[in-house]
Amino acid sequence: MTEYVSKTSDYLSTDEIHRLVRYFNRLGNFRMSLLIEMGTKTLLRYSDLRSIRWKDCLGKDTLFIVEKKTQKRREINLGVSLRNSIESVWKQLENPSPEDFLFHYTIQHTNLLLKEGGRDCKIRNKNISSHSFRKSGSRYIWENNGHSDEYLIKLSYILNHSSTQMTRKYLGIHKTEIKNIYESFDML
């Protein structure tokens, strides 16, 4: 009998994201730090992040991209902290050509680095991959807006999901709610 192993990436807490960013900065791997921040703050898939060139985002308030998976054009506002990080990494890398890509790793190598980073940062019981940041950013938005259905609808639109039910499943909301129900018995 074959055992099924889930390959779904997990979302990370804000603290776990910050620990990974600090970890890669300490190693001098500024691109990985930027990848984590951009993935979380733009909600883009790795295939789209990998296609971004310095000229697309350096000194700009808005990133325009055509998503590889959906072929939909996205306009993404780059917040002040993300713009500052982009400029900082560009300088730390000694001003690469504007034509260069921000991220050079394959998805396999990226995921290997993230798993090593997660282990070294003592992030336990989580399957970390490049997709964790899209999930983490989405989860952050939903949690910081009162777990509202309004933001679930907005996230569903941003993530190009066909329904809010799909977005709930993507964010692991149903699983979390059930866990909370069982934990509530501790008060009984």
CATH of region 14-144, choose from 3.40.50.150, 3.40.50.261, 1.10.10.10, 1.10.443.10 = 1.10.443.10
Q: Report the alpha-carbon distance of residue 119 to residue 156 in Å, rounded.
A: 31
The pLDDT value recorded for residue 176 is 67
Q: How do the pLDDT tens digits run along the chain, 188 residues long?
A: 344 344 689 999 999 999 999 999 999 999 999 999 999 999 999 999 999 999 999 999 999 999 999 888 999 999 999 999 999 999 999 999 999 999 999 999 999 999 999 999 999 999 999 999 999 999 999 999 988 889 989 999 999 888 988 998 888 877 666 677 777 787 77
Strand partners, 64: 75
- Closest of 111, 44, 122 to residue 76, by C-alpha: 44
Provide the phi-psi class of 8: left if phi over 0, else alpha when psi is between -120 and 50, else beta.
beta
pTM confidence score = 0.86
